[in-house]
Structure 1
Amino acid sequence: MNWEQLLSTQRYRTGKIAKSNGKSDLRSEFEKDYHRIIGSASFRRLQDKTQVFPLDKSDFIRTRLTHSLEVSSFAKSLGQNIGENILTYKKDPSFTVQMKEDICNVLQCAGLIHDIGNPPFGHFGEDAIREWFRDHLHTLEYHGRSLDEILTLQMREDLYHFEGNAQAFRLVTKLHYLVDDRGMNLTYALLNTIVKYPVTSLDIDSKSRDIKRHKLGFYHADEEIFREVETATGTNGSRHPLTFILEAADDIAYKTADIEDAFVKGFVSYAKLYRELQEMETLYAQPRSSFRPAAKLKELYGRAEDMHVEDPEEYAVKNWIVRVQGFLINCATYGFTSNYDAIMNGTYPYDLFHGTFAERLMDLLGDLAFREVFATETIYRMEVSESVMINYLMDRFIGAVIGYDDKEQELGTIDRRLVSFISSNYKRSYHFHAQGKSEAEKLYLRLLLATDYICGMTDSYARRLYQELTASVY
């Protein structure tokens, strides 16, 4: 792979590489992407979508929007570090200063939209949608045949492996109505960067040593545009190199933020964090010059006491988070630059923290958050309530869209009203892409139409709609 092709400015609508036209707009194509994103309703909706704690009343706790802003910031910083390293050490003679600026802009945009397709209620919402399809696809019928019998294998697997990452690609390429049915019409470099798993649902292997095969990257419905993107950028089955950087930025953001949010909410104490960090340092020896997280946490606590800070534990944990983020940015930079040739050849199968002390630290932070937050009764109670809402919405809207656009029979009174709730842009996209398709393909697109609508909901809207449809509130 080469950077000139990887940083393709081609767009779906124009079908050609954009060039400067000498007019007053001096923005690069990737800077134009940035303004398209932040001006979109889909991006604004992230302010009311769960990161960890759904429907939280606190102004401090992160949402998908604040998380995405953090990922965007870390991704751009990593791009600056890595781009400068490539230039300084002449790792690639064709790499230019302009390319460094371009990868920073692409990564900044990618951070903003990497979670834009996620349904309400965080990752649990994804799980609930997958499980709904696995439980119901074989029980629902269309003209006397079960849905799983009508759909092709790939269509079924798409639904069984529903994935927010694939939904993000779908949203920005088709569902966001800007000028026509080609979505935000973003550059191909950016589109390829957000696809963490460049495989179909038939090629998923969660046990593969190559992380690019662990989940679904794009739906069958969107495969044609993805193939065009990967051809234009020259990845052809491999991960885009910038995807590794985006993934590292996402990991840094959520694993450190989950601990900070958990501390503020009272799930994780200073003493608990310090004790677990000490145990990790005892188990896993590290170079003398390496960052020592337990020692740094204790040092910050001592500093807070010396300064007579009112809450030295809060001071220590919050400042420790910042120090850890800097350490992890350095580790990810090393992970990319030390494996540069393998990444550019498409043969590197791991994340950027693989084989480093940072990997141990990231594992600990993730495990601690799971044990002390995600596996607690408080979160379980929230998730049970969320599953009731998601399942109800799936029941009603999937049931309604099955018979939508059916020339042989009309929708019932309630189903017509339910379909009327769905965004006109989404229905316009369905009709545009259903033209000339088989009945199985149209049915598949209608099922996606329902998930498109549900995924576009904010947490508050999903709860309010559930309450309205069940006559729970007036």
Structure 2
Amino acid sequence: MIDYSKKLTVDREFYPIDNLDYSIESDRGRILSAPAFRRLQKRTQVFALELNASIRTRLTHSLEVAQTARFIAKTIFSKLTEEELKTYCLDGLKDAFVSTAEMTSLLHDIGNPPFGHFAEKTINKWIKENALPILESFSSSYDESKKLKGMIAKDICNYDGNAQAIRVITKLQKLNLSYTQTLAVLKYTRGAFEDRPKKGEPFDYLMKKPGFYYSEKDLIEQIQKKLDVEHGHRFPITYIMEAADDISYLTADLEDSVEKGILSLDEVYNLIKAECEEEGENYLLDVIEDRYQKAKNDDEPFQFNMFFTLVRAKLVTSLVSHVVDIYIDNHEAIFKGKFNSALLEYDKHSKYYKAIEILQNISEKHIYKNAHVQKLELQGYAIINGLLNIYKPLLGLSSEDFEKLMRDEEIECFIAMRLIKRIASKHVVAYSNDVKKLDKEDVESFKILEWYYRVRLIIDYISGMTDDFALHEYQVLLAIK
């Protein structure tokens, strides 16, 4: 049975607000005023360290996704009958539903590191090569500590912006968002410490990436239990955020590539036309043909904006209607969180899916593989890798020595004494709060988990940097002028 009153609630970890509307508005205020949200303005979307303010950043991308999510959520309400709204207990919950979809979209990239997805791969590569050997040296003489050690090994090698987002919200920023808002951000439902399902196994899509770390495991389970969401299942509104994200990517990178001078308007048009003709896809071809001719009738400085504005408006309107139909047609499975697909990928024979594929293929071939873009990725790799190398001495300390560092006592590793002072205090507090909960009597498990939270501490600090701050820190610590 679909009952949204059990999903859209006032529950939160601390200081619950009795009135649902006030609770939702409180979430909105906390998100918009969060420092981690503001830092998205200096994080890479595609082009790192970009000075042209019209090129998309993680912040401007998130604003676009939020608008599309709002459009989807409102369209769902417009297509449901009054009887269905009552049956699903959505009557009177429109503001809460729409706002949750919108705010989830603003948060969806809040855990992404500087320099984009390439940095995620960089962090995981560094951890495998540098941190795992340290973990292997830890004693694990009984089954429980062996199992824990294995889980931690998987967890630290699975850094992901989606999982980091949950950590930012709950631990590093302590936004104390409602359980509804927090769980809506959980895009993938697998713990980073769990094995990925094989293709064809249950929830192979929903669990294809890590959605949360071992460090947030207990809290996520607590929230899932409260909102009646089973393990491996997703919160219903998360499907809306995901669809909005997918739709927002349609022409965004192509627009930015023209702004950057990588492609011209005519080149974009000709590339889309050629790809459509090769694939025998008429829907997207008809959309661009009509809009291209209209744009060409405008004054030359405005042709670029006119073309993308018209194309985007048509595609977004059509795709929103398409995903809303899929949401409503599969409402019960989506409400329960067991719908094992992205909304836009559900019907792979539709003209909309084929249009998306064509646009993605063009971006992959002509933007992401562009020499300038790949040079920026290599620079990001050098910076992230260099910073992790600099902070590595903190991982080589014994738990006793690191405890002394926390008490500001002198230890033999004088470099570590300087490095710890550079890490943001909120990250240090998050580490300390987690370590306080550990059982020191279980020596093997304590040492493994204390070190695990130390790894999280370093990753939290470096992954939370903006592009320009990471570059500055790299230059300062390597004495580069």
SS at match of 1:370: helix
Matched, 1:199 2:193: no
Contact 1:111/1:246 (8 A) holds in 2: yes
Contact 1:195/1:217 (8 A) holds in 2: yes
Contact 1:210/1:350 (8 A) holds in 2: no
From 452, 456, 481, the counterpart of 1:448: 456
Q: Aligned in 2, Cα 1:10/1:402: closer, same or farther, shift over 3 Å? A: farther
Deviation at 1:385, TM superposition (A): 1.4
Matched, 1:158 2:177: no
Q: Which residue in 1 is equivalent to 2:330?
A: 339
Contact 1:263/1:269 (8 A) holds in 2: yes
Moved more, 441-450 or 395-404: 395-404
Contact 1:241/1:343 (8 A) holds in 2: yes
Normalised to the residue count of structure 2, the TM-score between the two structures is: 0.88
Q: Which residue in 1 is equivalent to 2:131?
A: 137
Contact 2:135/2:153 (8 A) holds in 1: no
Deviation at 1:276, TM superposition (A): 4.4
Deviations for 1:104-131, whole angstroms, at most 9, x for unmatched residues?
1111111111111111111111111011
In structure 2, distance between residues paired with 1:296 and 1:261? 20
In structure 1, distance between residues paired with 2:117 and 2:25? 30
Match of 2:169, as an amino acid? V
Q: Aligned in 2, Cα 1:169/1:402: closer, same or farther, shift over 3 Å? A: farther
Moved more, 273-282 or 92-101: 273-282
Matched, 1:270 2:229: no
Q: Which residue in 2 is equivalent to 1:366?
A: 360
Gaps of 5+ in 1: 21-25, 177-182
Matched, 1:239 2:234: yes
Contact 1:189/1:233 (8 A) holds in 2: yes
Deviation at 1:41, TM superposition (A): 1.0
Q: Which residue in 1 is equivalent to 2:101?
A: 107
Contact 1:37/1:113 (8 A) holds in 2: yes
Match of 2:159, as an amino acid? F
Q: Which residue in 2 is equivalent to 1:250?
A: 245
In structure 2, distance between residues paired with 1:341 and 1:165? 25
Q: Aligned in 2, Cα 1:389/1:149: closer, same or farther, shift over 3 Å? A: farther
In structure 2, distance between residues paired with 1:129 and 1:248? 27
Two-structure CA RMSD over aligned residues (Å): 2.6
In structure 2, distance between residues paired with 1:453 and 1:143? 25
Contact 1:34/1:109 (8 A) holds in 2: yes
Q: Which residue in 1 is equivalent to 2:18?
A: 19
Matched, 1:468 2:465: no
From 158, 169, 173, the counterpart of 2:170: 173
In structure 2, distance between residues paired with 1:194 and 1:96? 20
SS at match of 2:87: coil
The 5 Å alignment of 1:183-332 reads 183-201=174-192, 202-205=194-197, 207-208=199-200, 210-237=204-231, 238-279=233-274, 281-282=276-277, 292-332=283-323
Deviation at 1:32, TM superposition (A): 0.7
SS at match of 2:343: coil
Q: Which residue in 2 is equivalent to 1:413?
A: 414
Q: Aligned in 2, Cα 1:205/1:363: closer, same or farther, shift over 3 Å? A: farther
Q: Aligned in 2, Cα 1:303/1:232: closer, same or farther, shift over 3 Å? A: same
Match of 2:165, as an amino acid? A
Matched, 1:52 2:53: no
Moved more, 200-209 or 341-350: 200-209
In structure 1, distance between residues paired with 2:360 and 2:13? 38
Deviations for 1:354-387, whole angstroms, at most 9, x for unmatched residues?
2132211222222211111111221111111111
Deviation at 1:91, TM superposition (A): 6.6
In structure 2, distance between residues paired with 1:423 and 1:452? 9
Contact 1:142/1:403 (8 A) holds in 2: no
Q: Aligned in 2, Cα 1:271/1:304: closer, same or farther, shift over 3 Å? A: closer
Contact 2:44/2:116 (8 A) holds in 1: yes
In structure 1, distance between residues paired with 2:373 and 2:412? 39
Q: Which residue in 2 is equivalent to 1:23?
A: none
SS at match of 1:217: strand
Moved more, 258-267 or 189-198: 258-267
In structure 1, distance between residues paired with 2:237 and 2:138? 47
Matched, 1:394 2:393: no
In structure 2, distance between residues paired with 1:341 and 1:281? 35
SS at match of 1:406: helix
Q: Percent identity?
A: 27
Deviation at 1:294, TM superposition (A): 2.1
SS at match of 1:28: helix
Contact 1:82/1:333 (8 A) holds in 2: yes
Deviation at 1:185, TM superposition (A): 0.3
Moved more, 2-11 or 397-406: 397-406
Deviations for 1:196-221, whole angstroms, at most 9, x for unmatched residues?
11111313237457321110011011
Match of 1:445, as an amino acid? Y
From 60, 79, 82, the counterpart of 1:66: 60
Deviation at 1:232, TM superposition (A): 1.1
In structure 1, distance between residues paired with 2:397 and 2:354? 51
Deviation at 1:326, TM superposition (A): 2.0
Contact 1:262/1:369 (8 A) holds in 2: no
In structure 2, distance between residues paired with 1:19 and 1:325? 37
From 341, 348, 364, the counterpart of 1:350: 341
SS at match of 1:203: coil
Deviation at 1:319, TM superposition (A): 2.6
Deviations for 1:413-470, whole angstroms, at most 9, x for unmatched residues?
2211111111111111111110142111110000000000011111000000000001
Deviation at 1:195, TM superposition (A): 0.5
Q: Aligned in 2, Cα 1:411/1:84: closer, same or farther, shift over 3 Å? A: farther
Q: Which residue in 1 is equivalent to 2:408?
A: none
In structure 2, distance between residues paired with 1:89 and 1:278? 45
Aligned length: 455
Q: Aligned in 2, Cα 1:316/1:10: closer, same or farther, shift over 3 Å? A: same
